[in-house]
Structure 1
Amino acid sequence: MNFHRVSHLNRQDVRIEELTVHSLEMGMYLAEVNYDDRLGFLVDENNKPQQFHSVEEVKQALNRCTIYNAHLVHKSAYDEMCGGTEKVDNTLKVPLFVAAVG
């Protein structure tokens, strides 16, 4: 599995094809990037998934590189209710605006 560190990516010469911010429970976010044709999550210096507390925190962490596409992804647990219909993919994918480096 590929992974990336913010310290390696947050430079002006880095071009990220796609950033996906995964919204998890309790206000926690994980970031996944496609850089240099390698899709991987951002990890900290201990190779643990780097946790963010907001979308803005992710944007700030990558504020020097260029990001071409960005999305926020959230999967709802509401389809797991008793007596509900069969499980369906209820993934919400919302485009994010990331300011261009100038």
Structure 2
Amino acid sequence: MNFHRLEHLNRQDVHIDELVIHSYEMGLYLAEVDFDNRKAFIIDDATGRPKKFHSIEQVRDAFAEATVRKAYLSHQSAYDEMVGAPDKVDNTLKVALFGTAEPK
């Protein structure tokens, strides 16, 4: 399984192509980073599992030193999982958040 460590990415010389903050229930967020042509979640060094964040601001602060070119908030709604409803379709909402302009 691919993963990234926050301590390796939150440095001034690091340029992250894309940061996707996945929103889950009860204020739980996971950060997926596309860096060096490798897309993977940030892991918690203590547990070896994906690192949990409790707000978008906490994620932004965690990457304060790195340059983030594009950042998005991604959320999937569970409201289409009703009995008798048609088969589930991808209802992911992806909203642009913060980042720098595209490199030229």
Give TM-score, length-normalised by structure 2.
Answer: 0.90
Contact 2:5 2:42 in 1 (8 A): yes
Higher percent of residues as helix: 1
Amino acid at match of 1:52: F
- Give the Cα separation in 2 of the matches to 1:84 and 1:55: 32
- Give the Cα separation in 1 of the matches to 2:68 and 2:100: 8
Any stretches of 5+ residues in structure 1 without a counterpart? none
Q: CA RMSD in A?
A: 1.4
Number of residue pairs aligned between Structure 1 and Structure 2: 100
Any stretches of 5+ residues in structure 2 without a counterpart? none
- Give the Cα separation in 2 of the matches to 1:97 and 1:16: 12
- Give the Cα separation in 2 of the matches to 1:7 and 1:87: 38
- Correspondence 1:1-102 to 2 at 5 A: 1-46=1-46, 47-98=48-99
Give TM-score, length-normalised by structure 1.
Answer: 0.91
- Give the Cα separation in 2 of the matches to 1:86 and 1:39: 29
Contact 1:59 1:98 in 2 (8 A): no
Shift of 1:25: 1.1
**Percent identity of paired positions between Structure 1 and Structure 2:** 58
- Give the Cα separation in 2 of the matches to 1:24 and 1:98: 22
| 3-state SS, counterpart of residue 53 of structure 1 | coil
